[in-house]
Chains A and B, each alone.
Chain A
Amino acid sequence: MSKVKYTDRSISAKELMYAVASMVIGVGIFNLPRYITTVTNGIDGMISILLMGGLVLAIVWIMGQFVRMYPRKGIYEILLSIIPKPIAFLLIIVYGSFFALLAAYEIRAIAEITKKYLLPNTSSDILSLLFLLVTLYALFGSRTALIRINSMFLPVVLIVSLLLVVLNIRIMHFDNFYPLLTTDLKGYGSGMINIFFSFTGISIIISYSYLVNEPEKASSAAVKGVFISIIIYAMVFVSCVAVFSNLGTDFLENPTIELGKEIELPGGFFERFESVYFTIWIMTIFNTTSMSMDSSLIVLESLFKKTKKETLIVILAPIIFFVSMVPIGMEEMEAMGTFIGRLSLALTAIVPVPLYIIAKIRGVKK
Chain B
Amino acid sequence: MIKRCYVVSILLLSFLLQGCGAREIEKKAFVIGVGIDQGKNEDATSLPVMNGTFQVAVPRSLKPEVTNGKAYQNFEEKGHDISEQISKIAQISNKELYFAHNQIILVSDKVAKQPQRMERLLDFFVRHEDIRRSVRVFITKGDTKQFLNVENNEKLPSLYIDTLSANVQNHSRTASIKRLGDLQEDLLAHRSFVLPVLHYKSTDEIKLGGAAIIKGESSRLTHVLNEKDTEALNILNGEFQKGMLLIELKDNLYIYKVDKSKSKIKLQSTNNGQLTFKITVSLEGEIQEVNKQMDTRTTSADRVKKEVEKQLAIKTERFINKLQNQYKTDVLGLGVYLEKHHHKEWLKLRNDWETGENHFSQVKINTQINTTISSAGGLR
Contact = CB atoms under 8 A, between A and B. Distances in A.
Interface of A: 42, 116-117, 119-122, 126, 129-130, 133-134, 136-137, 140-141, 171, 175, 178-179, 182, 243-245, 247-248, 251, 258, 261-262, 264, 310
A244 B179 CA distance: 11
Q: For B9, B20, B21, which residue has the most chain A Cβ atoms within 10 angstroms?
A: B21
Contact of B184 (A116, A120, A248): A248
A264 B189 contact: no
Contacts of B17: 122, 126, 130
A26 to B, nearest CB: 21
B340 interface: yes
B28 interface: no
Given A175-B340, A179-B339, A179-B340, A130 B13 contact: yes
A130 B340 contact: no
Contacts of B339: 178-179
Contacts of A119: 21
B342 to A, nearest CB: 8
Given A117-B129, A130-B14, A247 B185 contact: yes
Contacts of A134: 10
B129 A116 contact: yes
Interface residues of A, dominant DSSP: helix
A178 B185 contact: no
B10 to A, nearest CB: 5
Chain B facing A: main interface SS: helix
Contact of A140 (B3, B22, B181, B336): B3
B132 interface: yes
Given A140-B3, A248-B188, A133 B129 contact: no
Contacts of B343: 179, 182
A296 B17 CA distance: 30
B20 A248 contact: no
Interface in B262-292: none
Given A117-B129, A245-B185, A261-B132, A122 B2 contact: no
Contacts of A248: 181, 184-185, 188
A261 B184 CA distance: 16
Nearest to A245: B185
Contact of A244 (B7, B132, B185): B185
B15 interface: no
Given A136-B6, A140-B6, A179-B339, 16 more contacts: A116-B129, A117-B129, A133-B6, A133-B13, A137-B3, A141-B3, A178-B339, A178-B340, A178-B341, A247-B188, A248-B185, A248-B188, A258-B133, A261-B132, A261-B133, A262-B181
B202 interface: no
